Amino acid sequence: MAFSVFKRDPGRDACARWTDAPETSSSAGPPDGIFDHHEREVRLPTSETLDAAFQRLRAQLLSYDIFPARFLRFVICPQGQLAVGSIIVQRIGFGPVALESAVRVVDVWNRLTAGEQQAGFRYVTLAGHPERGTASFEVRVGRDGKLIVVLESRSLPGSLAFRLARPIARSIQLSITRAAIRRLAKS
């Protein structure tokens, strides 16, 4: 974790700082973390087909265009769509100060099974992240024809400082996650 003054956007130089950082959790997540599950149905505008909306949201997820820029800025390393092994350097701004952390993508999927279509990815936090855990982001079309976005996470505080600040950090985490799901589900 690093603090940066007056610089909200992580540049390409941020990638080098996180390349060798170890993962803090397995892809299954810490056993005793807080589990969050958020999902919302996407209402399609009349001008967009179900398949077009699914593909749009899939592209949005795999380019990590998830969180409103007022909350979180990021850079993908290497640049491009998310793939297994991609590192996402994230910066959350608080006035003139930004908190930098990173995660590594451990799974990416685009599958059609039993009449359901799903696309998404999962990442794990890297050492230095304020939390220790995993998160997944998915868009799916169920057998019922509904388009759903799903965000799940399991996390524990990553340090004593964040354990002590957990009520505040948890409030921020939930606000950012709710803003993301609203943004994704907005048609």
Tens-digit pLDDT profile for residues 80-101:
999 999 999 998 877 777 888 9
User: pLDDT grade, residue 157 (50/70/90)?
Assistant: confident
User: pLDDT band at residue 5, thresholds of 50, 70 and 90?
Assistant: very low
- Rg of the chain, C-alpha, whole Å: 16
CB 144 within 8 A of CB 117: no
The domain limits of the chain are 2-185
Topology classification of domain 2-185:
Alpha-D-Glucose-1,6-Bisphosphate; Chain A, domain 4 (3.30.530)
- Report yes or no: 1 and 130 within 8 Å, Cβ to Cβ: yes
Tens digits of residue pLDDT in 26-85: 665 555 778 889 999 998 888 899 999 999 999 999 999 999 988 889 999 999 999 999
List residues bridging with 56 in a β-sheet. Answer: none
Give the confidence band of 186 by pLDDT, cuts at 50, 70, 90: confident
What is the model's pLDDT at position 6? 40
Predicted confidence (pLDDT) per residue in 116-139, tens digit: 999 999 999 999 888 888 999 999
For the entire predicted model, the pTM comes to 0.89
Residue 148's pLDDT is: 96
* Residue 76 CA, distance from chain mean position: 12
Q: Is 118 helix (H, G, I), strand (E, B) or coil?
A: strand
| pLDDT higher than threshold 70 for residue 115 | yes
CB within 8 A of 50, min separation 6: which ones? 44, 141, 145, 147
